[in-house]
Amino acid sequence: EDKVVQSPLSLVVHEGDTVTLNCSYEVTNFRSLLWYKQEKKAPTFLFMLTSSGIEKKSGRLSSILDKKELFSILNITATQTGDSAVYLCAVVTQGGSEKLVFGKGTKLTVNP
Amino acid sequence: DVKVTQSSRYLVKRTGEKVFLECVQDMDHENMFWYRQDPGLGLRLIYFSYDVKMKEKGDIPEGYSVSREKKERFSLILESASTNQTSMYLCASSFGAQPQHFGDGTRLSIL
């Protein structure tokens, strides 16, 4: 059975801290890995990773994939209260359909 | 920007009722998905569709059905609502291998 595991499940930090969120996976026929941010409503897309070792970056957020060790990390530097959210990791498997297998998410709280 | 619209943000229904949740996307995406999101369980796929009139079961299809008569609209149906179907329901759409875009969700309570 395909599985995606995120850690930690929750994290509380102070503004300005740097955080690293982890996502490991065991799936058949890996295709890509996605990160989403979910505040009160819809998950919003952050990154899609398909190749090992290539860092994706957007402002203070960055992410990288290791297909040999089957994990990805999401880094947030100089955190702000607006970064408080649930961060979701999901894996797309090959096979004709575009199903996502989600982890349970990491709830990040950034205190002023 | 892709827009995925779910018809209701909050819905309260009674046990045994037939419930319809509607989802519309405006980007001509062929793939559409229904998830439910529960604390401690994350997002779980109920059904998905990759074309009009096509549907496939996800991981937890029991108690649900879907309808896709038009490309832009994907409906989730609870045939006879039960209290264990109280949840947040999220609809998503995508084009090919591109990332899925989500609606704002419907928080459904079954009393």
**Cα-flanking dihedrals φ and ψ of residue B85, to 5°?**
-100, 5
Over pLDDT 70: what percentage of chain B?
98
Percentage with pLDDT > 90 across chain B: 86
pLDDT of residue A22: 98
CA distance A96 to chain B (A): 10
Taking only the tens place, the pLDDT of each residue in A16-37 is: 999 999 999 998 888 899 999 9
pLDDT value at A12 more than 80: yes
The sign of the dihedral angle between the CA atoms of A97, A41, B78, B42 is positive
Q: Which of A42, A48, A103 sits opposite B105 (nearest CB)?
A: A42
* Average pLDDT estimate for B68-94: 96
Structure tokens at A8: 């930690």
Query: Residue B10: its pLDDT value, please?
Result: 95
Mutating which of A1, A36, A99 best tests the B interface, going by the most B Cβ atoms within 10 A?
Answer: A99
B60 touching A (Cβ < 8 Å):
no
Residues linked to residue B94 through DSSP beta bridges, in sequence order: B31
User: A6 with A89: CB under 8 angstroms?
Assistant: yes
Chain A nearest-CA residue for B37? A104
Q: Do A42 and B43 touch (CB under 8 A)?
A: no
Cβ of B26: how many Cβ atoms within 10 Å?
A: 12
Asked if pLDDT for residue A97 goes beyond 70, the answer is no
